[in-house]
Structure 1
């Protein structure tokens, strides 16, 4: 009896010690307060399979941000061993994604093979080869001649011919984007809202879209496309094409018809502005009959981008693509206090956008965005031109192909021999994404690594990744993620909550020994969450 009592008394004590020891090893990184200027207050491992993020302000878009590929989760011991150095980690990638590296010949090709320990459904493509070609035409020729199965970023001017080719399948992406005409209010005459409104009403946007853009492009009636859902106001239209009302506004504004407006644009087109020179010419020809003289200023691409971002261009063609499927992706960039491209901030838009971005109730949030859409039409800081359907191209024998706004469902497609060759526009910058900036990198790294949540391929939305579920407190300042059990990295380590904390801290904390990356800039993290913790 005595022995039995001793054993039963000792067992709970032993368990209690083990639990205390485990809790001591759980990682937590926390800011003393939010005065450092960032959006994150803390990230902590609650237990081995639960991670909690505490934010400085409500953020209903937080899970959508964590789906971005820079937030790939890495084994903390591997991260420490390589000190977060993207170059070192690229030599022998260690991930939990559907693929692992089989062969990499820099400048030539990257071959991936299916990861036998992947936590999700096994990839249907066993061998996936990436090659790269700068021009859309060269990629399309290779796909058309059966040297590759798929490609990214086809030239919109080739959409018609692709659709006419029975061997090819053009798969359209959701249009989470905007092509627009910017007007900087620091420069006359664009410092007068009446002039900005008048210029908008003198430009026939529908004609531009119908004559220059591919079929299916939508004339933008708002800054956000209907695909967003929240943030888009149904049945709300932009200022109409109305030359008479426009001229009345210009007369009331004492517009100087002797002046020359300079319309700047990049010499290099993109998917959202496929032919900027032709668009600029059309705008000039539409304004000329009403006595408005426009001089075209075609600039080298890098010079143009730098000048627009610095706020040095008064009148310009530009485009924006969402980093994540939430209105805050637009308002935290183009209309933030740090943005210069449209000139001085519009205080009412900025205030309401901040309020909407921090509102967790969907109806209240939508009401605030409805008011923002009214403010945008009143101020006319820019002229929304088009929501553009970009696409990927697959050969017809590739079955089950689907895309979202960013990537393709490559692990889920089927080919006759279980292999696939994908052509993209550039070689990956790195095989570790934390400090990367290009989707040609993220396309590859999203197959090698996993994030807590992922973007769906059947529309706009999120699906579970390494986190089976997630939830927030009522005001969206605290987010809890519940991790999958049994997830294994390619080095054999099992996923736990400390890996999530370590991966996030390596980017967030400037004094973390793993805060290295490629350039050390972590540009996209700062765009999402502001300042680093312990920033020098």
Structure 2
């Protein structure tokens, strides 16, 4: 994991890294030409099919996994950490107010179609996102909406004030990005897969912006489905929907050290037991999110269970809209004291998990140990319920089915344990199970028809706003009416460019969230595993689930 100072560095110089990458490329190429180790095919068992292959129109891990291998971002994350390092930009810097970012680009980089990477190509991507037309297309740009907040012309549900202002190609290797306001997400958010840089030539040739909607279904253009074109170490070859396989091939003109593999195949296998069986049979070389209950068996079979460093938060959400008692903070505090989080971590979660006392992991600037804590105390919970006159509550507790999340490997087990804790202090629990993509997210996040629910977040980058800002930065149906002062706390923290002031403001916001607002109960932080066969080398587990297969080989 990275240190808290990693994000705080607003000025980064890394020209040496670019020179080193060139020298490593030459060495790797000569070794492969001389018959050195490498080559072959790696088959990864994917849990689901990608929506498409255009990063800007995606927001889920199964879509991002192949995209990360084909594209690069201006800034990237050092493998195995949340630290920033050069990507397509060898260095970057901002003005003191954080509104102007200057990127120095690598020279000699080409897209898979032969188009040269230069500042005009970079600006074409930023302008494309900002100028995107159509409610359908804008609705699919989830990360852009979260980070940049608004478009040149908002359509459909888009309504934010744009953070982006303009991009200027100062010269072929210098792109200058102007923002209307500072955001604490930067510079780390420049490394998000959604903000990968695409070939302007390919985007124009294959009508990249032509997204249409029919009911709940979306149709994506040829660029996103057949011709994704980045600068990454692998190139798109095919997507065989009948065989459920996505095939990528090595990019021998990659600017960095070329991939050791000849081919990288993602085989879509929705059932976890089927993935486990195919790993045992040797028809796949790895898969993600194995059940913690299977760790021992997988290791006994000789496989490598690679556990990521914790960078996620599971919380018990509380909706104050439907049940008046939940608007009393004493009742929310009682719920917090009622849940035996230590037991959940010991009995329901994989190794490396820990109790969360707040909504930010300890490695993020803005975390503070000095928050109000709610240790397991059933008698204290009963006392608080009595003081609030809420001894006879019945609460609709929603939990998801047909899903495994990094922070929630078995939702039914976690629900059962927490429901038993609540029943023990006198709260009657009405269980409501909903399929993750068949009612749960809509009921919880849009309709707000629940009282309690389980959700969480695996961080995308190392900034407190990526956690508490995502959770509580604006009015959400999943929590019901909330205190505007909480929104103000978070907005104030996010708007401070000075790293020390930024972190201090988030520390204070976290204190207020846990003592004054308590819109939910932080439960635990965890790092899920990824498993590969014993003959696989070079896969580095990422706390961001941002694994790159460029370093992978098989012996």
TM-score by length of structure 1 reads: 0.68
For the residue of structure 1 that corresponds to 2:330, the secondary structure is helix
Q: What does 1:215-234 correspond to in 2, within 5 Å? A: 215-227=351-363, 229-234=364-369
Q: Find the counterpart in structure 1 of residue 468 from structure 2.
A: 331
Q: Find the counterpart in structure 1 of residue 264 from structure 2.
A: 128
Q: What does 1:354-365 correspond to in 2, within 5 Å? A: 354-365=491-502
For the residue of structure 1 that corresponds to 2:420, the secondary structure is helix
Q: Is the 8 A contact 1:194 1:250 kept in 2?
A: yes
Matched, 1:183 2:318: yes
Q: Is the 8 A contact 2:310 2:352 kept in 1?
A: no
Q: Is the 8 A contact 1:170 1:392 kept in 2?
A: yes
Q: Is the 8 A contact 2:395 2:430 kept in 1?
A: yes
Distance 2:474 2:425 in 1: 35
Q: Find the counterpart in structure 2 of residue 207 from structure 1.
A: 343
Distance 2:320 2:389 in 1: 17
Please list the CA deviations of residues 242-282 of structure 1 after superposition, one character each: whole Å capped at 9, or x if unmatched: 23332222222122x23322211112341322222232222
Q: Find the counterpart in structure 2 of residue 373 from structure 1.
A: 510
State the 1:236 CA deviation: 4.7
Q: Find the counterpart in structure 2 of residue 39 from structure 1.
A: 163
- State which of 272, 278, 299 in structure 2 corresponds to 1:163: 299
- State which of 499, 507, 524 in structure 2 corresponds to 1:386: 524
Matched, 1:80 2:196: no
State the 1:78 CA deviation: 2.3
TM-score by length of structure 2 reads: 0.66
Distance 2:539 2:291 in 1: 19
Distance 2:227 2:164 in 1: 31
**Count of aligned pairs:** 390
Distance 2:331 2:478 in 1: 18
Q: Find the counterpart in structure 1 of residue 480 from structure 2.
A: 343
Distance 1:370 1:395 in 2: 42
Distance 2:250 2:478 in 1: 44
Q: Find the counterpart in structure 2 of residue 10 from structure 1.
A: none
Q: Find the counterpart in structure 2 of residue 258 from structure 1.
A: 392
- State which of 157, 180, 193 in structure 2 corresponds to 1:69: 193
- Higher relative contact order, chain-length normalized (CA < 8 Å, sep 6+): 1
Q: Is the 8 A contact 1:177 1:322 kept in 2?
A: yes
- State which of 211, 231, 234 in structure 2 corresponds to 1:99: 234
For the residue of structure 2 that corresponds to 1:333, the secondary structure is helix
Q: Is the 8 A contact 1:265 1:299 kept in 2?
A: yes
Q: Find the counterpart in structure 2 of residue 273 from structure 1.
A: 408
Distance 2:527 2:332 in 1: 27
Structure 2, unmatched stretches of 5+, are 1-118, 131-150, 211-219
Matched, 1:142 2:278: yes
Distance 2:234 2:358 in 1: 40
Q: Find the counterpart in structure 1 of residue 116 from structure 2.
A: none
Q: Find the counterpart in structure 1 of residue 533 from structure 2.
A: 395
CA shift in 2, pair 1:199/1:360, >3 Å:
same
Q: Is the 8 A contact 1:268 1:300 kept in 2?
A: yes
Q: Is the 8 A contact 2:360 2:468 kept in 1?
A: no
For the residue of structure 2 that corresponds to 1:128, the secondary structure is strand
Q: Is the 8 A contact 1:239 1:377 kept in 2?
A: no
Q: Is the 8 A contact 1:202 1:286 kept in 2?
A: yes
State the 1:382 CA deviation: 0.8
CA shift in 2, pair 1:260/1:234, >3 Å:
closer
For the residue of structure 1 that corresponds to 2:270, the secondary structure is coil
Instruction: Select between 284-293 and 208-217 the one with higher mean Cα deviation.
Output: 284-293
Distance 1:168 1:237 in 2: 42
**The structure with more radius of gyration:** 1
Q: Is the 8 A contact 1:216 1:389 kept in 2?
A: yes
Q: Find the counterpart in structure 2 of residue 243 from structure 1.
A: 378
For the residue of structure 2 that corresponds to 1:189, the secondary structure is helix
Instruction: Select between 393-402 and 245-254 the one with higher mean Cα deviation.
Output: 245-254
Distance 2:326 2:152 in 1: 44
